A = this chain, B = another copy of it.
Amino acid sequence: MENKGITSREDDYSKWYNEIVLRAGLADYSPVKGCMVIKPYGFGIWERMKEQLDKMFKETGHVNAYFPLFIPKSFLSREADHVEGFAKECAVVTHHRLMNNPDGEGVVVDPSAKLEEELIVRPTSETIIWNTYRDWINSYRDLPLLINQWANVVRWEMRTRMFLRTAEFLWQEGHTAHATKNEAIDESRMILDLYAKFAEEWMAMPVIKGIKTANERFAGADETFTIEALMQDGKALQSGTSHFLGQNFAKAFDVTFLNENQKRDHVWATSWGVSTRLMGGLIMTHSDDQGLIIPPRLAPLQVVIVPVPKPNEVINTFVNGIMEELKARGIRVKYDMDKKKRPGFKYNQYELQGVPVRLAIGKRDLENNQVEIARRDTKEKYNQPTEGLTDHIEQLLVDIQNSLFERAKAYRDEHITPVDTFDEFKEVLESKSGFISAHWDGTTETELKIKELTKATIRCIPLDAPEEEGKCILTGQPSGKRVLFAKAY
């Protein structure tokens, strides 16, 4: 738990990231290739994210349900694009029994327990859910159906990184059914706004809302909306997507309804999700070479109080009073009374773990009616009068939340660079990186060519991109607006 020797971001961003995850106690490797263990401290942050998102989903009329982990293999090929995009790299269950090894120790698969049809561990649940919706939807009175599920999913990934890309991950997937195309589009846009609000107001992570190109679209969607964030190393992170699915899944699974005019029509659909990947975004948006930085609204522990040099009756009495007041305001606070560890050791530990505010309190401080406050985000330290201390801390947490957002936004805004030529494009990508705002001729061919040449992809066509006549940076063909390119996680 010491922060000596954390690799600096400048030296090796990727190594720094892994060290933060491991040493702040967020997650651990597991013996299963590509799967991680989410440790209690990391899970505490995820729980807070989940709680807030769940509240926002419910406030907008959604309810939770639970669908099976397994999907019959044949379901995946029902929607043609979907199987191309998803069905290939997945965990396949072929047997349902083990038996004692007849030739020695341990257990082996019982060959007589082969499944008639293989089951796939869900990589996403559109197919099994739309197969179920067929029985649930009969008339316009059954619509809209606004269902969300919190679940684990598995996508067999070759190159994995903790939180950012793991074979198994946790997420929520919303699956809604609507009577009209417009209502479904509105839903997918509303969820996009909800995701952006969550990212900015809770994670303090600025995002750009946009539309994915056809090439980057979800397999089976007519339109994919995305929120894109920028990490400190200039790479983009797709942080949440919301899909307008048209009638594709309704047609594949034959889900129709009787509309108000007594005519049968296929149902319109959306799906949308965010995952434990957000944890990666949180880490890479705020943290520094001393360790994790967590925005106060998501911090499992917001304030830690350290007695200097160790607890005594005077300090304890004072702290107990403050603790009570802070808790009464809903502030998550801990008094670290461990006598075996020195204050300096504790400071390092809480810095590494990203606790937003640290109070250090010595007997002398109390005689002077003050305490020492340290902000994790700016590493500023100052003495604060004990009078009005609770008010001060409450406001400080708000300030830190805002300041983290403003800092990240300033960095992000500085790293959106408009370019007009391909040479400039390549140069900015290498020297400065970040988002590059450029004209593109609208073809998948050009998009793939640019990716091949530079590794940059089109992250999105921003929703607020103004109409502007221009020429594609690669082909010179006409373009009506700029899109955002970046190297991405």
Q: Which residues of chain B have C-beta atoms less than 8 A from A92's C-beta? A: 93-98, 109
Q: Report the interface size class on chain A.
A: 35 or more
A440 CB, nearest partner CB in chain B, Å: 31
Q: Which residues of chain B have C-beta atoms less than 8 A from A87's C-beta? A: 98, 107
Q: Of residues 65 to 111 in A, which have CB atoms within 8 Å of B's CB atoms?
A: 65-77, 83, 87-99, 105-107, 109
Contact A43 B72 (CB under 8 A): no
A212 CB, nearest partner CB in chain B, Å: 25
Known contacts A88-B99, A94-B109: A64-B35 contact under CB 8 Å: no
Known contacts A43-B64, A76-B98: A30-B93 contact under CB 8 Å: no
Q: Which residues of chain B have C-beta atoms less than 8 A from A91's C-beta? A: 70, 93, 96, 119
Q: Mark A5-49, 1 if CB is under 8 A from B, else 0.
A: 000000000000000000000001011100111111001100100
Is A131 an interface residue, CB under 8 A from the partner?
Answer: yes
Is A411 an interface residue, CB under 8 A from the partner?
Answer: no
A300 — nearest CB in chain B belongs to which residue?
A: B63
Chain copies in complex: 2
Q: Which residues of chain B have C-beta atoms less than 8 A from A63's C-beta? A: 40, 43-44
Is A135 an interface residue, CB under 8 A from the partner?
Answer: yes
A74 — nearest CB in chain B belongs to which residue?
A: B106
Contact of A70 among B32, B37, B70 (CB under 8 A): B32
Q: Which residues of chain B have C-beta atoms less than 8 A from A47's C-beta? A: 64
Is A152 an interface residue, CB under 8 A from the partner?
Answer: yes
Known contacts A92-B94, A93-B121: A70-B35 contact under CB 8 Å: yes
A254 CB, nearest partner CB in chain B, Å: 14
Contact A44 B32 (CB under 8 A): no
Contact A96 B89 (CB under 8 A): yes
Contact of A65 among B39, B76, B109 (CB under 8 A): B39
A94 — nearest CB in chain B belongs to which residue?
A: B94
Q: Mark A168-190, 1 if CB is under 8 A from B, else 0.
A: 10100000000000000000000
Question: Most B CB atoms within 10 A — which of A39, A69, A99?
Answer: A69
Distance A71 CA – B77 CA, assembled complex (angstroms): 28
Q: Which residues of chain B have C-beta atoms less than 8 A from A90's C-beta? A: 96-98
Contact A43 B30 (CB under 8 A): no
Known contacts A72-B32, A109-B94: A65-B88 contact under CB 8 Å: no
A147 CB, nearest partner CB in chain B, Å: 6
**Chain A residues with a Cβ under 8 A of chain B:** 28, 30-32, 35-40, 43-44, 47, 63-77, 83, 87-99, 105-107, 109, 118-121, 128, 131-132, 135-136, 147, 151-152, 154, 156, 168, 170
**8 extra A-B contacts, CB within 8 A, seeds A40-B64, A66-B170:** A32-B72, A35-B68, A40-B63, A43-B66, A47-B64, A69-B152, A76-B98, A93-B121
